[in-house]
Chains A and B, each alone.
Chain A
Amino acid sequence: MATLHTVNKSPFATGALLSCIAHAKDGDTVLMIEDGVYGASSGTNVSDALTARAGSVTLCVLGPDFAARGLATDRMLDGIKSVDYAGFVELAASNDRTQAWL
């Protein structure tokens, strides 16, 4: 029973992303959307926490939201998969349930 977690808050504004990756079970997927995409940048104070879970939790970012905020693809944290809206739908369909970290 795998869960798709969506996080839409910047990790520099709330603790939602850190809480989410701490609660996610092995095999779950965490998708950063909207302002959550700031978490996918490398060299931030949450990078290490994300990298530590990258092996057991699938980390994804909504590409259009990442680009809309002017974030450079070459500065994306290693181990994060970029998906478009079709990929978002696919993740929601292939996981057993979804949890929005609002």
Chain B
Amino acid sequence: MGWLAQDDERFFPYPFLRGSNVKFGIVVSEGPYTHQASDTAYNFAKSALEAGHEVPRVFFYHDGVNVGTRLSIPPQDERNIQQQWSALGSEHGIDLVICIAAAQRRGLLDEKEASRQGKDANNIAEGFRISGLGQLIEMGIQTDRLMTFGD
């Protein structure tokens, strides 16, 4: 498409593609291993990054927060959904955010929350962090497309 005048909307009606990429915000709202949502979201994010787009943040909501525990031990010949996300996150600098209200109901705590709540352990995996719904709203504002994967 190099010969097209990319700043002329008559020939190139997608301003967001003009010499730049698309920012995708991703929401995962269903748990790993019970539903395909977290796998679909992972494959989408991976392909988007391979195509040169950006995935600045993934927001794990409802049962989706269960992706972020470092204590899951799936069989060795099976995919490890948490490790896949942690690896993709560290490779591409993705902000992996777990919703705090959803996490507390389901027993997901980071070090700070565990001590604040007087619990004897924490279980958040590498690359994930616990934060609030404000991060979901911010992602909706700061990205070009919001992709929701759930049940």
Residues of A near any B CB (own CB < 8 A) = 8, 33-35, 64-65, 84-86, 88-90, 92-94, 97-98, 100, 102
B46 adjacent to A92 (CB under 8 Å): no
- Interface size grouping (class) on chain B: 20 to 34
Q: Which residues of A contact B46 (CB under 8 A)?
A: 85
Q: How far is the CA of A102 from the CA of B36 in the complex (A)?
A: 13
Q: Is the CB of B149 within 8 A of A89?
A: no
Contact partners of B151 in chain A: CB under 8 A: 8, 102
- Which residues of chain B are near A65, meaning CB under 8 Å? 36, 40
Q: Is the CB of B53 within 8 A of A100?
A: no
* B40 and A98 contacting across the interface, CB-CB below 8 Å: no
- CB of B51 within 8 Å of the partner chain: yes
- Return chain A residues, CB-CB under 8 Å to B29: 102
Contact A85-B145, Cβ < 8 Å, known A100-B150, A102-B150: no
Verify A92–B51 contact, CB threshold 8 A.
no
| 14 residue pairs bridging A and B, Cβ less than 8 Å apart | A35-B36, A64-B43, A65-B40, A85-B47, A89-B53, A92-B22, A92-B24, A92-B44, A93-B53, A93-B145, A94-B17, A100-B147, A100-B148, A102-B150
CA distance A86 to B46 in the complex (A): 9
The answer to whether A89 and B44 touch (CB under 8 A), given A98-B147, A100-B150, is yes
CA gap between A90 and B24 in the complex, in Å: 12
The one of B37, B47, B148 that contacts A88, using a Cβ cutoff of 8 Å: B47
Q: How far is the CA of A97 from the CA of B149 in the complex (A)?
A: 15
Cα–Cα distance between A47 and B104 once the two chains are bound (Å): 44
Contact of B88 with A by CB under 8 A: no
- Binary contact track B23-51/A, C-beta < 8 Å → 1, others 0: 01000010000001100100110111011
Which chain B residues lie closer than 8 Å to A8 at the CB level?
36-37, 40, 149, 151
> What 7 A-B pairs are tightest by C-beta distance, nearest first?
A85-B47, A100-B148, A93-B22, A89-B48, A34-B36, A89-B47, A102-B150
